[in-house]
Amino acid sequence: MGEHLASFPTDLLYATNHMWAKAIGDGVLRFGLTAYAVRLLQDVYFLDWTVEVGMDLKSRASLGSIESKKAESDLYAPLAGKLVGINEAALDDPSIINAETYSDGWLFDIQTDSCDSLLSPSAYLEHLDSAWDVAQRTIKGQANE
């Protein structure tokens, strides 16, 4: 992230929309926002879901939105599958996403047949490097230049 060290767990998988994924059993992956995403958002304070547990999701389907000090952003499914869990604690207190990004700040669980679209830690690091110029312009409000 420019001059800031981008450290993240190497035992997880990652999506290009800056979510991490952890296998929790029976084809179920738990997802949350990466520290990179949380840093860009700055102080998450509102989370809203437009989906319900049990729904089938398509890759990149809209799931809801997240608001922070910096921006309001839509949340999208990083892959196709069935939504099997939502973190109610994060819904009740979204600030947990800021404090416990890779643990209690998780967002949702998806049961899926394939996680082939997810990135290894090294591939995610390459993605961060390639996306940094766009992120800088976004941060500075120059995304359309």
> Could you tell me the mean pLDDT of each successive run of 10 residues in the chain, 145 residues long?
66 95 96 91 93 97 93 94 97 94 97 94 89 65 49
Which of the following CATH numbers is that of domain 13-139: 3.40.50.620, 2.60.40.10, 2.40.50.100, 1.10.1200.10?
Answer: 2.40.50.100
Say how many C-beta atoms besides its own lie within 10 A of residue 47's C-beta: 22
pLDDT at position 54 is 98
Instruction: Note whether 27 and 57 are within 8 A (CB).
Output: no
Domain boundaries, the chain: 13-139
pLDDT at position 129 is 82
Three-state DSSP string of 14-56? EECCCEEEEEEECCEEEEEECHHHHHHHCCEEEEEECCCCCCE
pLDDT at position 145 is 47
pLDDT at position 57 is 97
pLDDT at position 139 is 56
Distance separating alpha carbons of residues 81 and 95, to the nearest angstrom: 27
